[in-house]
Amino acid sequence: MLDNPKINIKIKLSALWTSLIFCFLYGDYFELYTPGKVDSLLTGENVLDSPMKLLIASIILVIPSLMVALSVLLNAKLNRILNISFGMLFTLMMLLIGINSMTPWYEFYVFLAFLESLITIYIIYLAWKWPRV
């Protein structure tokens, strides 16, 4: 039989946030292959068309990056609260993005958005069921 050691919940949460970030990155990379995307980046006629919008997007997307480390470093109580809160925020955000992206060229984006939603739902579940002493 193969050994299947128990993994600390903090490591599980950190790994899930890492997976989420990779899905974000792949989605944004593959979006470059959709018609007109590169042209809109060159002309500046896109969703992130101002310094303030770029800052807001950066703030939103830095959260999962920080959660990779915070899930390992923070104490259990604060860790649980942040994982549940940010998990809910990103689940809602990704479901809305997935629903609003339902076009033939963005089927990959819909797939990733719903996969990301499943990841964040699992983050919420694990944090909610945080083991007690």
What's residue 83's pLDDT? 98
Distance from C-alpha of 117 to C-alpha of 87, rounded to nearest angstrom = 9
Distance CA 132, CA 7 (A): 15
In this structure, the number of other CB atoms found within 10 A of the CB of residue 120 comes to 25
What does the pLDDT read at residue 11? 98
Burial class (CB in 10 A: 0-12, 13-18, 19+), 5: exposed
pLDDT of residue 93: 96
Distance CA 92, CA 73 (A): 26
Query: Residue 79 CB: number of other CB atoms within 10 A?
Result: 20
What pLDDT is attached to residue 17?
A: 98
From 17, 94, 104, select the one nearest 63 (Cα to Cα).
Answer: 17
CA 128 to CA 39: how far, in whole Å?
44
Predicted pLDDT of residue 104: 95
Q: Which residues of the chain have pLDDT under 70?
A: none
